[in-house]
Amino acid sequence: MAWGRNSTTITNFILLGFYEFPKLTIVLFSIFLGIYLMTVSWNLGLITLIRVDSHLHTPMYFFLSNLSFLDICYVSTIAPRMLSDFFQKQKFISFTGCTTQYFFLSCLGLTESCLLASMAYDRYAAICNPLLYTAIMSPTLCLQMVAGSFITGFLGSFIQLCALLQLHFCGPNVINHFFCDLPQLMILSCSDTFFLQVIVSVFTVFYGLASVLIIMISYGYIVATILKITSAEGRSKAFNTCASHLTAVTLFYGSGTFVYLWPNSDDSLSQNKLVSIVYTVVIPMLNPLIYSLRNRELKDALDRWKKRIFS
């Protein structure tokens, strides 16, 4: 039976959040508040540093600044609501608010998937075609790749949202999570979710597998090129330019795969909730560190910025 949006009888949902730890409310609030503040400040700092230092006006850092922007938006879609819920007895979220939150999370997640693939292609061009790198990764192409990532992410999320709004929710309305995610919403639906599951599967293949395939092919060529480098110093330098991106990709896809491909049994819900913290809260905080710790160009730019400020 098909249900329209107007037949929805539930006007709000209840987010259980971290109800399993009632005695740790203050501790968890403090931890997540600290993580959120660090995420926003570190990513804003990285964006500012890339923008003000002319030495960092290259394709790699252009993509990195957009990744930082995505991370700020992503964590800001979840963290403020999650933090306020720690002190709410009734953690209600409206149907519109819930679906809107999912739309932005899905849009940003799909966009980041495309952007990580674009960054892999950038590393391929830099290592495998260094003499043509500037010509290949022109400013126009970089802008098109970033814009394409945002557009495809928006379209994919919008289509899923339209399918989600066709579902009927008649109760229960309790979501055992700290944000509105699609698997939990489909469990609560009173109508047939087959069509939405098909759409989700199609987009998982299109975005997830396509992005992973681009990344794997790019790094296949990169590894082959690195192995041909005779000097150990040259191989180490080439590897260091890719290590940060590989780490970010592994964390992003590893945690996402566990949550969305792991069976949703009662025992796995708490595990999924904990892993969800990694890709929604922790990874956006870690990305600036991952890209900065072994990056000499960023360290040099930070030193120049400090000298400029204190001079």
Bond from prior residue into 59 cis (ω within 30 degrees of 0): no
d(CA 267, CA 56): 47
Output the tens digit of pLDDT for each of the chain's 311 residues.
334 444 447 889 999 988 888 889 999 999 999 999 999 999 999 999 999 999 999 999 999 999 999 999 999 999 999 999 998 888 899 999 999 999 999 999 999 999 999 999 999 999 999 999 999 999 999 999 999 999 999 999 999 999 999 998 987 899 989 999 888 899 899 888 888 989 888 888 888 889 999 999 999 999 999 988 888 887 887 788 788 899 999 999 988 877 776 655 555 566 778 888 988 999 999 999 999 877 888 888 888 887 877 76
Could you tell me whether strands 12-15 and 92-94 are parallel, antiparallel, or unpaired per DSSP bridges? antiparallel
**How large is the angle between the packed helices 59-85 and 25-52, nearest 10 degrees?**
160
Q: How many C-beta atoms surround the C-beta of residue 1 within 10 A?
A: 6
d(CA 18, CA 31): 13
Residues 6 or more apart in contact with residue 305 via CB below 8 angstroms? 49, 52, 53
Domains of the chain: 5-310 (1.20.1070.10)
Nearest to 100 by CA among 200, 190, 13, 3: 13
